[in-house]
Chain A
Amino acid sequence: MKPNLLELHDLSIRFRTENGTVDAVKHVSLSMREGDSLAIVGESGSGKSVTALSLTRLLPTPPAEFASGRIMFEGKDVLKMSAKEIRAVRGGGIAYVFQEPATSLNPVFTIRSQIAEGIRLHRPDVKNVDEEIVTWLGTVGIIDPAKRMLDYPHQLSGGMQQRAMIAMALSCRPKLLVADEPTTALDVTIQAQILAELRRLRTEFGMSLILITHNFGIIRGLCDRVAVMFRGEIVEYGDTASILKDPQHPYTRALISCVPRLGAKRERLQTIDYGWLAKA
């Protein structure tokens, strides 16, 4: 049995603001083994992105503060790491793909120089960086990568930008890829392509993946396990198939019912009904 790649124990994160403190994440515990894929699902403000960013301490502190708990990555406590250690984990251990590819790429550099930066930082032994870039751009489905890598971000379409972001993340050979709403900013056909790409990369490289989303519709076939977050807490946690088939928590049921189903009778789209909160 492989050791756990990532473990969150009783993680709580608070934001201290002028208008009082906000508990963004409350007593979250999770664990992942190498090769696992986990979806964290929840609405805006449920703490899913904060959880993802906390994995490499990317939250600005202050105002954020770790109120309790531990984050163990490959057996080491992320919260106790030195600045140098944490920088090695960022990108090299845990790499991110963010929501907005258009603004996540630096507008003044070519794709090539941005990807090269990560490779030089985390894989100094790579001799031919250009070749490596071409390989990874090709891997994520960019046609004619040798030519495209000389482009500036604004010369690429949204889908290609997101592919470039994924290539940039993967080229550092991370143990874990965290995709924070990777398809939200893209239109539906491109969404499908990017998700197919992630699915393929997962089977090809056995990469561990955390997918952050509010959309239950996109996790089927991509993530083995699901953690449903609501108001900073994990309200349901289990494997994808059984949760989709038989959701236990009313919030999970509400989220699933928000996804319009193909072939279903045309009716009003569902929104989340918080009626269960009053009962609980």
Chain B
Amino acid sequence: MNLTLRVWRQKNSDDKGRLVDYAAKEISPDMSFLEMLDVVNEELVKNAREPIEFDSDCREGICGTCSLVINGVPHGPERGTAVCQLHMRKFKDGATITIEPWRAKAFPIVKDLVCDRSAFDRIIQAGGFVSVNTGGAPDGNTLPISKPDADRAMDAAQCIGCGACVAACKNASAMLFVAAKVSHLANLPQGKVEARERVLGMIAQMDKEGFGNCSNQSECQAVCPKEISVDFIAQMNREYLKAGH
């Protein structure tokens, strides 16, 4: 396959940035999207041009590091798939592909296609945990949890923290990310003790980081590589109301 890439290049957070065209030649349809970029970068380096910086690590869809907007869609055209698992067979030979970073005030761009998502860590630090110290936990089976509850908690807990939900939302809202953690723990008895402090703390931090409000358009769910449901946003809202706000 031969493709034209229009890639966002930005030297650092102060730079204005622009789209630059690159040719991707002799691409195998079996390559992942990131491997295609690897090939382009190898060519750039061989020609003494600085490679395109983009984030990735596990390359199997679970670490949440990769973060590209492809033709306007975070993680690209395949549903339920992080960009590291998107393969070139999903594109047509000769296509032009536009590649941009996540865009949100709370995710400042570091370089090219890499942005700073530390806001997510600070939201978790504001309450996204159960306050148990190591040691002294009771036997794992002393607290039976119904299978549907455990499954529902797991559905929410699958979030990989990539931030595609924010990138897809016109309000750059982090509601799906926050809701996933709030709901994961709210669906389990272990998390109920601190449910109030958790939802209040995490939402306050979310607002402080500059994320917007829910747009109610479910764009987040549509691009989530783990297909986390917006139902969890409803659950978070209920938790928030229960908390007395």
> Do chains A and B stick together as partners?
no
Which residues does B use to contact A, with CB under 8 Å?
Answer: none
